Structure 1
């Protein structure tokens, strides 16, 4: 359900305070806001969030040796094959694509898991926690999609909380890239690639409605260029 957005200026001020706490560069004054005060915000449905979480989990398993037949069979049983993007399908079915790029999806998966309540915090300076993997479908034991959903009972976070996280990671994306350009010491154990992956998941999951927002993008259509 769409709700009014939180005050974009206050949210941005909080995001910049977090950058200061992490000793990261601050974006320029003209750095754009993510939404306008007149917009509304909602999350994609829990079913969509669960499906994307499960798909990325299988993609990661394929990166680390899961056979193609087993990966596609699991997704077929889960009725998720039609939700794959073309690059994901090519990678799962024939190994085509950049394995390193797909392996980075662990950090996007971390953000998705936070959105559905599988992990309590999305730490802006630390990698995905060890507690994440046990909350995902256990593919070695052939845990089914239905069994996983029953075991974890995912529940989406409030849309305004997700929007605040998106604004923070939007700012963090710029700040990490700038810190790396300036060779400034980063605040934790992750780099701009991890931050970008988390922003990717949040940009896809958080849906704004307003004069300057189009239709929600597909997973491969998320624009991280600004």
Structure 2
């Protein structure tokens, strides 16, 4: 994401990439306005599809398995139906190889703290976002409710992981950047509502939006940060 305010009018010196980003922001703002969601015009635009640096399809596919295992372990512990770690490692070694430091520590802990379990469970939403980016899901629904867990889980369980990683391909960069532009502005709207003590506009789910924003920022290599340190500035 650029740090340009984008508030100034277009000029003869505006690059093609800047014009693309400005047009994307205008489309997003129109969509939000139609849904009754107001965001300030000074919010920055997102980097253009031609200049953004996406993670490789292989890296994204491996990250889905890391997220899947993290969320699944949290789910099993919270429901008192723990899945043995070695059983998970045998079934999905690709995920263990892709763990971030925080994820590895989570799996190493015999009794993770309750908040860690809750945070890890939310990774199903990040996973659903990356499934969409890889074309494993047809759409990224409007974020008013959590993802369809049965479908998200079945998508990971019903395919050979090695084949999935080897054949992974990303959606066009323009679609990914469109999604990021939307969720960046939605995240601002929900955060601002929280700061003012108001309900989220248009029944938005702030937790879903935050996880999607995190995943999409990681996907475009925002600020060059790895998974655990990806910022979600608004």
Taking structure 2 as the reference length, what is the TM-score of the superposition? 0.77
Aligned residue among 206, 221, 225 for 2:229? 221
CA deviation after TM superposition for structure 1 residue 72, in Å: 3.3
Instruction: Give the direction of change, closer, same or farther, for the CA distance of 1:38–1:21 in structure 2 (3 Å limit).
Output: closer
8 A contact 1:85–1:220 mirrored in 2: yes
> Hey, what's the Cα distance between the residues in 1 that align with 2:49 and 2:200?
38
> Hey, what's the Cα distance between the residues in 2 that align with 1:207 and 1:89?
21
Larger Rg: 2
Give 5+ residue unaligned stretches, structure 2.
1-15, 77-82
Aligned residue for 2:61? 50
Give 1:1-226 correspondences, 5 Å limit.
5=17, 7-26=20-39, 28-35=40-47, 40-65=51-76, 66-76=83-93, 78=94, 80-94=95-109, 95-97=111-113, 98-126=116-144, 127-129=146-148, 130-138=150-158, 144-146=160-162, 148-149=164-165, 154-180=168-194, 181-184=196-199, 186-188=201-203, 191-207=205-221, 214=223, 216-226=224-234
Aligned residue for 1:211? none
| Structure in which a larger fraction of residues adopt helix | 2
Instruction: Give the direction of change, closer, same or farther, for the CA distance of 1:128–1:84 in structure 2 (3 Å limit).
Output: same
**CA RMSD across the alignment:** 2.6
The secondary structure found in structure 1 opposite 2:202 is coil
What is the aligned length?
Answer: 206
> Hey, what's the Cα distance between the residues in 2 that align with 1:89 and 1:166?
27
Instruction: Give the direction of change, closer, same or farther, for the CA distance of 1:100–1:15 in structure 2 (3 Å limit).
Output: same
8 A contact 2:126–2:215 mirrored in 1: yes
8 A contact 2:62–2:165 mirrored in 1: no
CA deviation after TM superposition for structure 1 residue 144, in Å: 5.0
* Greater length-normalized contact order (CA 8 Å, ≥ 6 residues apart): 1
Structure 1 residue ranges (4+ consecutive) displaced by more than 4 angstroms after TM superposition: 147-150
> Hey, what's the Cα distance between the residues in 2 that align with 1:184 and 1:60?
27
| Structure in which a larger fraction of residues adopt strand | 1
